[in-house]
């Protein structure tokens, strides 16, 4: 089974804590098999804490693309118990593809705010990141902005972004459609396009680099990339990029900053479902929230759990309380809008 599934996802990398992932077998509640979009070294500390507390081992298969398709192809013979994902669109996609199953748990419902979990219990958020504005410390005086300001003519030629079709940007655009409607959002996107300093390119770190080099003054980026750059000892130039920017948490009018999540879902044919549910409950605990969110430079989904010192340094996250399922429902419209206005072609004048 594994050999067959490996051909479906050649990019998968196996990382294990107690042995190789095995084909589906009778549940024994001693192991949880995990397929993860998140790098194994980032989730290892929280999984080690779970094993220490419960005695249940975990085995992780890292898949950087096509995770949902792989699980669907494996069907009833899939060894996966728990899916760990890094984006709301992937969680919703997993549910829509029929590869998850609902979990009824008072502990999860009370621990995780309603806007960060599926109303039918098919997925649950674990950590949050803001889609914020990186701004030049030297060339941007304000510390407060609205997303609407990115389309203001005063910012003509000052903005850098990554590919408009990237899931992080589509999430933001989807939230704006939910709050503003399609007509206003399209007008805004046209203004954003014409305010770009260049065609969209690179990742979020590349946008900070653009500010450092003077190519742009403002950029869209996720909060956690700031932590990744600040602590990158292997590539110290990224630390310089981080020093060149400040983080502005923009609002959507009266609403807060758009957020995305990492999250979890119980696989439909989980052979060790009860053990997986124990892990899900643990991941929603205060201890696990602190460990996991600190490791990935994100904000816990639970407001009662403080962020790490590095994350606190970004600033206070006043998150928009729009249910992320609503955001996901507008992502197709957002994608079509990106193409319609030619956002990825860059400014028109």
CATH number of the CATH domain containing 70? 3.40.190.10
Asked whether residue 294 falls in the same domain as residue 330, the answer is: no
Say what the pTM is.
Answer: 0.89
**Per-residue confidence (pLDDT) for residue 29, from 0 to 100:** 76
Q: pLDDT tens string for the chain (349 positions)?
A: 333 333 333 344 444 443 345 444 445 578 999 999 999 999 999 999 999 999 999 999 999 899 999 999 999 999 999 999 999 999 999 999 999 999 999 999 999 999 999 999 999 999 999 999 999 999 999 999 999 999 999 999 999 999 999 999 999 999 999 999 999 999 999 999 999 999 999 999 999 999 999 999 999 999 999 999 999 999 999 999 999 999 999 999 999 999 999 999 999 999 999 999 999 999 999 999 999 999 999 999 998 999 999 999 999 999 999 999 999 999 999 999 999 999 999 998 7
State how far the Cα of 172 lies from the Cα of 220, in Å rounded to an integer.
Answer: 10
pLDDT tens profile 16-57:
443 345 444 445 578 999 999 999 999 999 999 999 999 999
The enclosing H or E element of 41 equals helix 40-54
Asked whether residue 121 falls in the same domain as residue 156, the answer is: no
> By residue range, what is the domain housing residue 204?
129-258+316-345
Count: domains in the chain: 2
Write the burial class of residue 183 (CB in 10 Å: 0-12 exposed, 13-18 middle, 19+ buried).
Answer: exposed
**Per-residue confidence (pLDDT) for residue 27, from 0 to 100:** 53
Asked whether residue 202 falls in the same domain as residue 147, the answer is: yes
Question: According to DSSP H, which parts of the chain are helical?
Answer: 2-8, 40-54, 67-74, 88-96, 106-111, 167-180, 182-195, 204-213, 223-230, 237-243, 273-283, 286-295, 309-312, 324-329, 331-341
Task: List residues forming the annotated binding site for Fe cation.
Answer: 224-225
Contact 219, 210 (CB under 8 A): yes
Asked whether residue 271 falls in the same domain as residue 251, the answer is: no
Task: List residues forming the annotated binding site.
Answer: 224-225
Asked whether residue 181 falls in the same domain as residue 233, the answer is: yes
Asked whether residue 38 falls in the same domain as residue 138, the answer is: no
**Per-residue confidence (pLDDT) for residue 43, from 0 to 100:** 95
Picking from 313, 270, 319, the residue whose alpha carbon sits closest to that of residue 127 is: 319
Contacts of 125 (CB under 8 A, 6+ apart): 88, 112, 113, 116, 117, 261, 262, 263, 301, 324
Q: Which residues pair with 83 in a beta bridge?
A: 35, 265
**Per-residue confidence (pLDDT) for residue 28, from 0 to 100:** 58
State how far the Cα of 108 lies from the Cα of 223, in Å rounded to an integer.
Answer: 25
Asked whether residue 93 falls in the same domain as residue 235, the answer is: no
Q: For the chain, how many helices (H) and strands (E)?
A: 15, 10
Picking from 139, 209, 153, 174, the residue whose alpha carbon sits closest to that of residue 331 is: 174
Residue 135 backbone class (left: φ over 0; alpha: ψ -120 to 50; beta: rest) = beta
**Per-residue confidence (pLDDT) for residue 17, from 0 to 100:** 41
């Amino acid at each position: 089974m594994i050999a067959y599934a490996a051909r479906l996802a050649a990019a998968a990398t196996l990382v294990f804590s107690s042995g190789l992932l095995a084909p589906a077998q009778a549940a024994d509640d001693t192991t949880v098999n995990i397929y993860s979009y998140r790098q194994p070294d980032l989730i290892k500390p929280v999984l080690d804490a779970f094993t220490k507390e419960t005695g249940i081992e975990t085995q992780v298969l890292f898949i950087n693309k096509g995770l949902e398709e792989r699980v669907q192809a494996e069907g009833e013979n899939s060894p996966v118990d728990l899916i760990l994902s890094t984006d709301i669109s992937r969680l919703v996609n997993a549910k829509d593809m029929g590869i998850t199953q609902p979990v009824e748990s008072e502990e999860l419902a009370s621990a995780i705010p309603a806007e960060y979990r599926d109303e039918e219990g098919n997925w649950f958020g674990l950590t949050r990141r803001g889609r914020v504005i990186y701004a030049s410390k030297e060339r941007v005086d304000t510390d407060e902005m609205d997303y609407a300001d990115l389309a203001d003519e005063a910012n003509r030629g000052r903005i850098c972004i990554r590919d408009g079709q990237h899931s992080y940007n589509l999430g933001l655009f989807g939230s704006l459609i939910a709050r503003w409607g399609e007509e206003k959002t399209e007008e805004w996107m046209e203004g954003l396009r014409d305010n770009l300093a260049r065609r969209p390119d690179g990742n979020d770190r590349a946008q900070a680099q653009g500010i450092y080099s003077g190519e742009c003054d403002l950029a869209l980026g996720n909060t956690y990339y700031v932590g990744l750059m600040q602590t990158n000892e292997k590539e110290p130039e990224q630390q310089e990029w981080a020093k060149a920017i400040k983080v502005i948490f923009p609002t959507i009018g009266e609403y807060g900053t758009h957020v995305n999540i990492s999250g979890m879902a119980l696989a439909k044919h989980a052979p060790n479902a009860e053990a997986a549910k124990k892990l899900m409950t643990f991941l929603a605990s205060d201890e696990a929230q602190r460990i996991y969110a600190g490791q990935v430079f994100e904000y816990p989904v639970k407001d009662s759990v403080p962020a790490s010192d590095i994350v606190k340094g970004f600033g206070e996250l006043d998150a928009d309380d729009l249910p992320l399922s609503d955001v996901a429902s507008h992502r197709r419209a957002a994608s079509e809008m990106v193409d319609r206005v030619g956002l990825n072609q860059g400014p028109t004048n």
